[in-house]
A and B are shown apart, each in its own frame.
Chain A
Amino acid sequence: SQQGEEDPQALSIQEGENATMNCSYKTSINNLQWYRQNSGRGLVHLILIRSNEREKHSGRLRVTLDTSKKSSSLLITASRAADTASYFCATLRETSGSRLTFGEGTQLTVNP
């Protein structure tokens, strides 16, 4: 079963705007990761945030983690048409060994 729930399920914005996607999870985690998937293709790792971190940046990406609320957000600033993809959060749980548990994803469309 999926641990994560992502919100919104779909998001459509104009190029240059910021996009924010949220992820909630249910159990204690070691870390939370965000992946991007272009239509019908494999997943690309974007960023990893550990349970003892609250915020992390990578280029135009900003991730926050609130372990008390069991939630995370991914912010993409100054979006581009090439950012159009599905975005998934994935958690590595303390008790799950090496398996990643993915949410259902947010479909982001950036209109030129």
Chain B
Amino acid sequence: DTGVSQNPRHKITKRGQNVTFRCDPISEHNRLYWYRQTLGQGPEFLTYFQNEAQLEKSRLLSDRFSAERPKGSFSTLEIQRTEQGDSAMYLCASSPMTFRGRGRDTQYFGPGTRLTVL
């Protein structure tokens, strides 16, 4: 069990540029989540996938944000035309499914990608 990995760990970009982050979940986990965390706050839910299907999106996920999980394994989160308000830690988490098809409630988090928009 290698845990959830995220790349890159840090990203500095200029306002208006596009950025893409990658998350590799724990291999047998069907569910994958993205959260955003700003300094001094708790994480806020952005979106989640069950296998390759994106099942839920937060209102925080504006049109500039898009997430994909094309083969039900790794996921990417893209932010287009970045703004300074996008500066945050972007956290990915995964969780397994039981054999009965219900999701387990414990989510396993990666180390995060810290985005700084100048």
Q: Does A44 contact B (CB under 8 A)?
A: yes
Q: Does B25 contact A (CB under 8 A)?
A: no
Q: For residues 39 through 75 of chain A, which have their beta carbon under 8 Å from a beta carbon of chain B? A: 40-45, 48
Main secondary structure of the interface of A (DSSP, over half): strand
Main secondary structure of the interface of B (DSSP, over half): strand
| Complex interface bits, B75-113 against A, C-beta within 8 A gives 1, otherwise 0 | 000000000000001010101000000010111111110
Known A33-B105, A98-B103, A99-B33; judge A42-B91 contact (CB<8 A).
yes
- Per the CB 8 Å criterion, the residue count for chain B at the interface is 28
Whether the pair B91, A43 counts as a contact (CB closer than 8 A) is yes
Q: Does B28 contact A (CB under 8 A)?
A: no
Stretch at the interface among B12-20, B35-43, B64-72: B35-43
Contact count A vs B, C-beta below 8 Å? 67
Residue of A2, A4, A97, A99 ringed by the most chain B CB atoms within 10 A: A99
Residue of B4, B41, B110 ringed by the most chain A CB atoms within 10 A: B41
Q: Within the complex, which residue of A42, A44, A102 is in contact with B42, where a contact is CB–CB below 8 Å?
A: A102
Q: Chain B residue with minimal CB distance to A97?
A: B56
- Per the CB 8 Å criterion, the residue count for chain A at the interface is 25
Sample of 7 further A-B pairs with CB below 8 A, known A30-B105, A103-B42, A104-B41: A2-B41, A33-B106, A42-B4, A88-B42, A98-B33, A105-B40, A105-B41
Chain A contact residues, CB within 8 Å of chain B = 2, 4, 30-31, 33, 35, 40-45, 48, 88, 90, 92, 97-105
What are 14 residue pairs bridging A and B, where the CB atoms are less than 8 Å apart in the complex? A30-B105, A33-B106, A40-B89, A40-B112, A42-B4, A42-B91, A42-B110, A42-B111, A48-B105, A88-B43, A92-B105, A97-B56, A99-B48, A102-B44
